[in-house]
Chain A
């Protein structure tokens, strides 16, 4: 079958997608900022440990930013992740310091395992309930997860009004660091101190990789994009939209649970004010990394660099002597504004260029 011939040029190389474009810009800006910080502030920024410290402190943020990226790609939102993180941290600390189930005969390893399972369980429970409300009862995801956030924060106080801490052998076990000697740097006395990385960072990196693969390589992941792109079309294309939206929230909840465990490993403490406003930082990181709030566009690699960019900016603000916490908020706000502006300008310029090119192509064919 020959078909009709069209005088269109066939190219094998496609222009990069919007997601890739926005992500590359973010990575570029992160690199630029970091190099600038190295040149201007020197000191800490020159040591590889600086990067590891950023990762150590933000491992949980990376994980919940992945949550947000998944739900935002699906065209939904989940602002309960910070609350779930804090709730899991509190429950886990109380399991580990023996205040929860004190009569149970458990050794330290079992208690840690128990805490991990609890983290996953709480996360899945939040994800499943919210997913059901959003996908099957079609309630606004913002309202659903706002309720989830209040619920989680309230639960923390019910479990314990007092801040809780881990102690003893378990504390030592959790505080284990992975040492990387070849990335070490000398301290003031000239002794080489190896770079230290927390186990939570490994978990976060594994999650970034896993979510990347899910989004890119699985049918479920592609359904997230389709539903976020156009829900009605996705339905007509034979995608189970309800199941897809449910799964997005389930994954989000699960990741928030894991983030809680990682948070607990990092701080060793449970407190009602833990991870406050971290969901907002996660949304900001996703947006900076190139995820659109309108759905259908986004990528977790970008999100990962979004977290690093945001943290680097905060570090730069600190290093310039503006140590008060509100300066960080102000710069975060300004940066978010800047990135959104940059993104919309980039996408607009791109669309204009493309349509101009198409117009030219059409004219040529018309001749």
Chain B
């Protein structure tokens, strides 16, 4: 092992039933560096971390740690800690009812008794030297989340740690708190601790990290010096698209849509989950929110539909001001929403296909005016035919259908309410390619033939380029750009996500 290297992982492979989660991945961490581990969902970041902390056993590969001869195998989080690998997780794993100092020292050391005075003195010294604004005798629950996070780091660092893993530490912190955390990270770096920083915030990676390792689909894309890797290249590496020759898949469509009437317009709309944003959509327009995972695209559409609690903003529908603070009001204003997580928000697994289809319309009509069986049957049959839903009968429980067909049932549910504006959040995730194309075709057909406005979100950028005439690009929960016409190419999307390139 080279001098200055604290951790070397070589050829790490691990398989779960049916999936190769990691395929011969290498990872090297040097002394006193902050090393960002990047990748989209399912890239293998968490799996790699879990191999390192002893949660998963690797199938192949070797791990070496400075100061310990030979290859090591890590069997448990406790063993990882003994080897000098400490992890601070996104959710705080400390005890709120104990003092700060106790949280730093409990579960360590030997003997029967608790040396309170010594513990408080040492905790005080450590907190001081790390500049953590907490008092040793303070109860942990009286500290802010950021400070609790820092106490967890202080505990990790004090256990003679050589490798510190920070797994999404900033996701529940505000900007000022993130700055505090970065200060602490830089301080630890100066002491020679190697830090693995897992995050999906691009700006934060560029703010603190020295190196970046990118994973994609369980494979190593590469290790890069942060200063040498432009943001746009990082994005392209994470998404797995080469910049050159990214073909002009986007077909040119209805540019004159700009003249159509605006159906829905929002100014400064915000919710408990999203920052204020402006948005409008014209009749017959298909647009989309794009950005990396966690960039806030789903939160925006949830706000439009009032699926989260709306906290401010002005909304007009067909130029008339309206208040949309509950999903039912959005529905009454002609808005339909197909949620991202169909298992959680969409299907009622035990109800039949028919009942699932008429659900939204029934809600709008009111539960005291039920549809006749005959009418419901007619609705269900109509859409099963139109959308080609493969089901044994209208009485089949929806839970027994395939993912793609479940998605079509939910789509049918919304189409039945004859929405003027339909929001589709990841309608094609986890369904086969044939159904995907069908849904894309349907989106275009609906917008062109019925004048329906559609907002479409997908993780697959080609899909969006094929269907949308306008893309709203998001990064770190802010809208950073809007692309139309010729700008609708993968290169442009990536440049915009990366923040104007460089």
Contacts and interface: CB of A to CB of B under 8 A. Distances in A.
B130 interface: yes
A51 interface: no
A364 interface: no
Contacts of A216: 114
B381 to A, nearest CB: 50
Contacts of B191: 1
A234 interface: yes
B96 A229 contact: yes
A189 B319 CA distance: 99
B77 interface: yes
B129 A1 contact: yes
Contact of B113 (A4, A12, A218): A218
Interface residues of B, number: 41
Nearest to B116: A217
A329 interface: no
B144 A6 contact: no
Contacts of A220: 112
B376 to A, nearest CB: 44
Interface stretch (A99-107, A157-165, A235-243): A235-243
B93 A222 contact: no
A218 B112 contact: yes
A348 to B, nearest CB: 14
Given A10-B135, A296-B97, A223 B106 contact: yes
Contacts of A225: 95, 97-98
Contact of A230 (B89, B95, B107): B95
B107 A226 contact: yes
Contact of A222 (B94, B98, B131): B98
Given A218-B114, A222-B102, A226-B98, A11 B135 contact: yes
Contact of A229 (B95, B128, B184, B190): B95
Interface string A1-34: 1111110101110100110000000000000000
Given A226-B106, A237-B107, A6 B98 contact: no
Nearest to A354: B142
A229 B128 CA distance: 26
Interface string B170-206: 0000001000100110010011000000000000000
B74 to A, nearest CB: 15
B187 A1 contact: yes
Contacts of B81: 238
Contacts of B93: 230, 232-233, 236-237
Contacts of A17: 139
A306 interface: no
B450 interface: no
Interface in A266-302: 296-297
A229 B97 contact: yes
B95 A238 contact: no
Contacts of A238: 78, 81, 106-108
A356 to B, nearest CB: 13
A123 interface: no
B137 interface: yes
A115 to B, nearest CB: 30
Contacts of A297: 97
A4 B183 contact: yes
Contacts of A234: 95, 107
B103 interface: yes
A135 to B, nearest CB: 17
Contacts, number: 103
B271 to A, nearest CB: 22
Contacts of A253: none
A114 to B, nearest CB: 31
A219 interface: yes
Interface in B120-145: 128-131, 133, 135, 137-139, 142, 144
B69 interface: no
Contacts of A18: 97, 139
Contacts of B116: 217
Contacts of B89: 236
Nearest to A3: B131
A358 interface: yes
A5 B129 CA distance: 10
A222 B190 contact: no
A237 B103 contact: yes
A354 B78 CA distance: 36
B111 interface: yes
A17 B180 CA distance: 27
Interface in B141-176: 142, 144, 155, 176
B131 A230 contact: no
B466 to A, nearest CB: 45
Interface string A186-227: 000000000000000000000000000000111111110110
Contacts of B106: 219, 222-223, 226, 237-239
B180 A6 contact: yes
A350 to B, nearest CB: 10
B185 to A, nearest CB: 11
Q: Which of A3, A18, A217, A230 has the most CB of B within 10 A?
A: A3
A237 B94 contact: yes
A228 B95 CA distance: 9
A17 B96 CA distance: 12
B186 to A, nearest CB: 8
Nearest to B139: A17
A308 B137 CA distance: 31
Contact of A219 (B98, B111, B130, B131): B111
B113 A8 contact: no
B131 A4 contact: yes
Interface string B301-338: 00000000000000000000000000000000000000
Nearest to A221: B114
Interface in A102-127: none
24 contacts: A1-B129, A3-B128, A3-B129, A3-B131, A3-B187, A4-B131, A14-B137, A14-B139, A17-B139, A18-B139, A216-B114, A219-B106, A219-B114, A222-B114, A226-B106, A228-B97, A229-B95, A229-B97, A230-B93, A230-B97, A233-B92, A238-B78, A296-B97, A297-B97
Given A18-B97, A218-B113, 16 more contacts: A1-B191, A3-B184, A4-B180, A14-B137, A14-B138, A14-B139, A17-B139, A18-B139, A218-B114, A219-B109, A222-B114, A225-B97, A226-B107, A230-B96, A237-B103, A296-B97
Q: Which 4 A-B pairs have the closest CB atoms?
A: A3-B131, A238-B107, A229-B95, A229-B97
